[in-house]
Every structure is written in structure tokens, then in C-alpha cells.
Structure 1
């Protein structure tokens, strides 16, 4: 009995086990998504959205003195970080329905590895989407004008946003056994904070009664920081504001996700 308990403890404990097991679980999560789904979701659709919104609003925003090819890509990136987070909720709900979560809890593996594996898989999906959107943006005129460090900060902030939102959506996925319903619900819920933000038009284009909300909500904070990092000029204020929002949201979402994981069977 003691030997068995010791073996289980040695399998669950330690950073080495956490990383090794997390990588294995990340690989499993990535493999169960077909190549066709990955290409359509993370490659084709972002390209279509970049060219589509540019065609719709490019000339209109040019009359306001806005270079829409520079303005738009951060918005599409934020939109696709939401998509990554919705995929995390779908995966957790699917694992709960199939009994895989209960299986994880019965195995002598680090509980943190389940979360670490999901975060690693979501981070890779986010990086793929960011790369596709940036390359597409470059084709239409988007540029990183503040140098390599700011460009790396841009990518890091976008991934941090994806993982923060993933923590919140994962909490919803963990309390459901219906991945399709969770996914469709989240696709509706993410639209208001995205559309009522500076994603596709500047904040001053909104009616005066809602403009203060648009300017100070978290999605706009992240968008402002991404644009500052891409465009150059003062970046400390926008980045600190976005980081503060993400830190607060991550604290709340992480508590909810941990609580949901402990209750999931």
C-alpha cells in the first residue's frame, strides 16, 4: 500500500512531471483536431476576414484619416483569440462527456498537467492564427513600425489575451457535457464585447452615450495596446492598462476554472 502510494505521488509531483505530462496532453489535444479543421479555422477564415473588412470599411475609414490596413489586423487577431478560447471550452466539455476528465482524475498524473497541456495547445493555436493574420496584414500594408521588441510584445500580449479568455471559457466547458451548446453559446457571448469596442471602428465613431464604455472596456484596452506596439509612439500606458485588465480577469477566471475542474466528473 505504501509503495503504491509512493509511486503515485512520484508520478504526480515535480515540475519535470508537470511539463512532460503537459506536453503529452497538449499533443493529444492537437492531434484530435483534424488538419482540415485547423486550416479552415486558423488559416482560411482569418484571411477572409482581413480582406473582407478591408474591402467593406477601408475607403470609409480613409476619409477619417485612418489607415485601415494598419488599424484592422489587431482586431482580427483579438477576434481569433476569442475563437481559440471557445475551442478550449469545447474540448473540456467534450472530455467531460466522454469520461476523459474522470479518467484523468483517476490516473497518477499531475492535476496541473491537464491545465498545462490545454494552455500549451491553445498557445500554439493562438500563435498560428497570429502568424497567418500578420502575414496577411503585411500583404495589405500592415507593418510593425516600432521594431522587433515591440513586435514580440505584440505577439506575447495577444497570446496572453487568448489564454486569459481561455481560462474563463474553460470554466464553462468544465461544467457542461454538451460541447456543441457551449460553443454556440460562447460564439454569441463574445460578439457584444468585440463589436462594442474599438475593434473595427474607432471609439469616437460610437454614439456619445456609449463611447465611455467602449473606451474603457477590456477588449478595447487590449486593442489599444496592440496598436500602440505595432504603430510606435507611447506604449507604456496602453500596455500597462491592458496588463492590469488581463491580470484581474485571469485571477477571477482561474479561480472559476479550478473550482469547475475539482467538481467535474
Structure 2
């Protein structure tokens, strides 16, 4: 009888050979409901490569009957290598369930040995119901980041250019004259200053691309803010051109998911009912999104 570790390696090799086109997934510590409100870890299948493009599965349901048929869109069984900060942390087999129970589970595969990965990522808490997901899943043997994205202090000129772009996107965001409700009499267009557009997280690659997060401060209303008042991310090219990437984003990681010599950049979307993941590639000229809905 083969040792369990050898059996797993042989199964991983067999499945990897069957999966010719690379897949991108993400580890989530409580992706599947197991009936006891604890949640079971799983791999969310995000993107597959088609030629030189990355594509999502575009798997959305409008009714509960769809939850029983949509699993057929995804691969039935996948061998995944889990990577954190460029280092392998686990090898797992994950299966697509026969049916999903909730819309938010669409695309998630159940890990056959969840106890082995139970402590890879913080679990949700009342204070942090949606912890960041930064453990990348790949069907390739390894993952590297040839562009070497690293945290770095933002360049002052980048901050200036991003603020200029932000002003063009949101010249007069809605605000209140004082802390109150969003009553029409107090809810009005406002004028913002550069100092209100505060830089946050910032990264730079060895190709001299930069990405920068900014947040507009000074919202005075009680109700939920308009789009301008939540975090936004921008990409800055080596020549200084600024591109708006989106809002409510959180960097999940960067890696060469196809072993083609350049890195793709993956963001998690923290959009409440309209959450998901966005992948940017080919120097931010292409992007694709894998939505996650909760209703």
C-alpha cells in the first residue's frame, strides 16, 4: 500500500496533467456553509486561460433552481497548489459540489481534507466578517512574481497626478453641511481639496509600474457614502499615465499565473452584495472579473 502522501502526490500529478490550461483560484477560509455557522474552507475557481486571454466562468444565478445546475460549469475536481507571499503552503484536491446552497458559494470547490488548511487564513469574526484573501491557488506546480511587486512609499508626482485624475472623476461629490441624515436640504454637491484625497497603500514593480490607493476624507452624512467617498485604486505607467482601476478593491496578490514571464495583478472586490475578484494583465490593458453575489 502506498503511503498517503505519495498517493496524494500521484493524484495531484494525474489531475495536473489533465488540466492543460492554467486556472486561477483563491483560498477562502469559510467559503462553504457546512450547516453549523462555522463555514468550511474552499477554493474559489476564478479564471481560466483561453488563448492569451483570461476569462471568468460568468456563472451567476437568478433563482435557487439554478444552484443545482450551475456546478456543471466548473471543473469537477481540481488539484491546487496554494501560494502565499510567493511560497507554497499546501497542496490540495478540491471538488465542485453537486449543488450549491447559496449564491455566494457559486464557483467554490470543497477541499477534500479541510483540517489540513484550517489555519492558513484568519476566519471571519464579528469585527472582521470578511477577512482579506491573499492565498493564491494555481494548477501550475509553482507561482512566481517576475515583476516583483513590492510595497513602497508613493512617488510625490504620482500622488499629484492621481489627485488630478480623481478631481476629473468626481469634480463635485455629494456631501452634507453637517453630520446629519441624507435629507435633501443638507445633501448637496461639494468642492474637495487635494489634501482630502489621502494616499493609502502603494506598490511598485521592477518594470516601474505603480499602483496607488487613495481615499477621499471628510464625509459628513450619516447615510452610506456615494462612490467618491470609498477607496479607489489607480495604476501609473512607467511614463506617468494614470489609469483608474476601480473602487472597493483590496490587493490579493500578483503572480505569473501562466508562466509567460510577466505578472498578473489580482484584486478582491469588497462590494457587499456585488463582490468578487478582478484580474489585470498585459500592463493593465486587459481585465476580467469574477463576480460573487450574496442574493
Structure having the higher strand fraction is: 2
Is TM more than 0.5 here?
Answer: no
Q: Relative contact order: is structure 1 or structure 2 higher (C-alpha 8 Å, sep ≥ 6)? A: 1
TM, length-normalised to structure 1: 0.26
TM, length-normalised to structure 2: 0.25
Structure having the higher helix fraction is: 1
Structure of larger gyration radius: 2
